[in-house]
Homo-oligomer: A and B are copies of this chain.
Amino acid sequence: MKSSVGEAIKLSVFGESHGAAIGAVLEGLPAGHKIDFDFMLSQMARRAPGRDNTTTSRKEEDLPEILSGALDGVTTGAPLTLIIRNKDTISKNYDNLKVNPRPSHSDYAAYVRYNGFNDVRGGGHFSGRLTAPIVAAGAICRGILKEYGIAIGGHIFNIGEVTDNQLDPVNVTAKELDELSMRYFSLVNKTQEDKMRQEIEKARTDLDSVGGSVELAAVGLPVGLGNPMFRGVENVLSNILYGVPAVKGVSFGAGFGYSVLKGSNANDNMYYDNGKVVCKTNNCGGITGGITNGMPLTVMVALKPTPSISVPQQTVNLNTKENEELVIEGRHDPCIVPRALPALEAALSIGLLDLMAEGGKL
Contacts and interface: CB of A to CB of B under 8 A. Distances in A.
A302 interface: yes
B251 A302 contact: yes
Contact of A1 (B77, B213, B302, B313): B77
A234 interface: yes
Nearest to A104: B267
A191 interface: no
Nearest to A134: B229
Contacts of A68: 14-16, 19-23, 125
Interface of A is mostly: mixed
Given A130-B229, A248-B252, A289-B126, A27 B10 contact: no
A320 to B, nearest CB: 10
Given A8-B358, A108-B288, A254-B304, 4 more contacts: A2-B10, A113-B223, A210-B261, A267-B309
A249 to B, nearest CB: 3
Contact of A360 (B256, B264, B360): B360
Contacts of A3: 27, 78-79, 227-231
A345 to B, nearest CB: 17
Interface string A275-303: 10101100111011111110000001011
A100 to B, nearest CB: 9
A133 to B, nearest CB: 11
